[in-house]
Amino acid sequence: MYRQHIGSAPGRFRVDVRTVGASEVLAPVGELDHHTAELLRAPLDQAVDEGRVRLVLDCSGLEFCDSTGLNVLLGARLRAEAAGGGVHLVAMRPTVARVFEITGADAVFTLHDTIESALPG
C-alpha cells in the first residue's frame, strides 16, 4: 500500500508516502522538530518536483510540531501553490492544531477531518 517509508531512529519519527491519483499522501508519525524536519521536507519536495502538487498530510500520527516543522509545511505550501496545487492537512491532534492556531498558520492551510474529504472526488 505504501510506496515509501522514510524514517530515523526507531520510534522517533517516520513518514509513510503513497500516491493516490494525482495526490501525494504523506503520513508523518512522531515528533516533527528541527532534528526530524528534513525527513518530511525531502518527500514533500520530491512530490512537487515530480508534478504531484496536491499534498495531503495525514496528521493523525503527528504528536508534536515545532517551528521548524511548521516552516517545512509552509515552504511546501508555497512550492505546491506556485505549481497550481496546495497542502491539505488531515486529522490534526489538538496539541499540534494549537501550534497552528497560535501562529495563524491554520488560516493558510486547507484542513480536513478525513483523508477521503481531502482527496479530490
User: What is the pLDDT tens value at each position of the chain, 121 positions in all?
Assistant: 445 555 555 558 999 999 999 899 999 999 999 999 999 999 999 999 999 999 999 999 999 999 999 999 999 999 999 999 999 999 999 999 999 999 999 999 999 999 999 999 7
Closest CA to 34 of 9, 56, 66: 66
Is the pTM higher than 0.85? The answer reads yes
Q: Look at residue 77 in the predicted model and tell me its pLDDT.
A: 98
**Parallel/antiparallel/unpaired status of strands 23-32 and 62-65:** parallel
Q: Look at residue 91 in the predicted model and tell me its pLDDT.
A: 98
Q: Look at residue 3 in the predicted model and tell me its pLDDT.
A: 55
What is d(CA 30, CA 103) in angstroms, rounded to the nearest whole number?
21
**Parallel/antiparallel/unpaired status of strands 62-65 and 110-112:** unpaired
